[in-house]
């Protein structure tokens, strides 16, 4: 399915700067002649955006971890069917703000949902589909939460969860990267923004050599 297009995901904890870096990466790829679709999870398609509201707004205890996982995978299926797979089939490059690794980090490492359940959901929803490249933006939890809280807005449900939760998230993302080094690259997001961009562009150039 990705023979023509490429699927790049950006992951990381709250406040890691993914949105800024996605815009910069998309601009760079368009400058090289690629058609680029920027999208996000949860969301990225009309039905998935409705589920997003349930997940990112409201009280921190609105859902337990398993319910969250089910909602995320339901949104993900809609996103893949409506946005990601059609774009890749048309030859576009797709850059996504969060994907399945976030579910493993947030609901698995963060909330303690059984890994076997998450793996089964992933197999049912994704089959053997995976990103071509995953960039994990890493920075200390306290700095990330400080950045995230400075943004304000309604979508702060996860930001309001305890510091221990966010520490488990960070450890989870780093463990994912260690387990799949052929797909994942960790980028130091505590660097100045321009240096983060440079590291991302270098990673895309090195791993996706026809970019």
Closest CA to 25 of 209, 206, 171, 201: 201
CB of 186 closer than 8 Å to CB of 101: no
Residue 110's Cβ-side half-sphere holds a number of Cα atoms within 13 Å equal to 27
pLDDT in tens, 65-119: 999 999 999 999 999 999 999 999 999 999 999 999 999 999 999 999 999 999 9
Which residues partner with 95 through β-bridges? Answer: 8, 38
- The domain tally of the chain equals 1
In-domain check, residue 24: yes
Top-confidence residue, 176 or 142: 176
Residue 2 banded pLDDT, cuts 50, 70, 90: very low
92 phi and psi angles, rounded to 5 deg: -75, 155
Which residues partner with 186 through β-bridges? Answer: 136
Rounded to whole angstroms, the Cα distance separating 204 from 211 reads: 7
pLDDT at position 210: 58
In-domain check, residue 67: yes
pLDDT at position 155: 56
In-domain check, residue 168: yes
pLDDT in tens, 147-173: 777 776 665 777 777 889 889 999 999
pLDDT in tens, 5-32: 999 999 998 888 889 999 999 999 999 9
Which residues partner with 135 through β-bridges? Answer: 10, 185
In-domain check, residue 87: yes
CB of 42 closer than 8 Å to CB of 51: yes
Give pTM, 2 decimals.
0.91
In-domain check, residue 62: yes
Residue 78 lies in domain: 7-207
Rounded to whole angstroms, the Cα distance separating 58 from 155 reads: 8
In-domain check, residue 2: no
Three-state DSSP at 183 gives: coil
- The domain that holds 195 is classified in CATH as 3.40.50.300
Rounded to whole angstroms, the Cα distance separating 113 from 119 reads: 11
In-domain check, residue 30: yes
In-domain check, residue 27: yes
pLDDT at position 147: 75
């Amino acid at each position: 399915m990705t023979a023509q297009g490429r699927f790049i995901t950006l992951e990381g904890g709250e406040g890691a700067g993914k949105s800024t870096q996605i815009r910069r990466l998309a601009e760079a790829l368009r400058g090289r002649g690629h058609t680029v679709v920027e999208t996000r999870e949860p969301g990225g398609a009309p039905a998935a955006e409705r589920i997003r509201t349930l997940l990112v707004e409201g009280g921190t205890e609105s859902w337990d971890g398993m319910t969250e996982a089910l909602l995320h995978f339901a949104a993900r299926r809609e996103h893949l069917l409506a946005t990601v797979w059609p774009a890749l089939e048309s030859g576009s490059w797709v850059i996504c703000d969060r994907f399945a690794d976030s579910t493993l980090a947030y609901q698995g490492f963060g909330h303690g949902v059984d890994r076997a359940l998450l793996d089964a959901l992933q197999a049912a929803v994704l089959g053997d589909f995976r990103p071509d490249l995953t960039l994990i933006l890493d920075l200390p939890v306290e700095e990330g939460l400080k950045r995230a809280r400075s943004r304000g807005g309604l979508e702060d449900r996860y930001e309001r969860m305890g510091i221990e939760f966010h520490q488990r998230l960070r450890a989870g993302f780093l463990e994912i990267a260690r387990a799949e080094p052929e797909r994942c690259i960790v980028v130091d997001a505590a660097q100045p923004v321009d240096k983060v961009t440079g590291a991302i562009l270098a990673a895309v150039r090195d791993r996706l050599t026809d970019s």
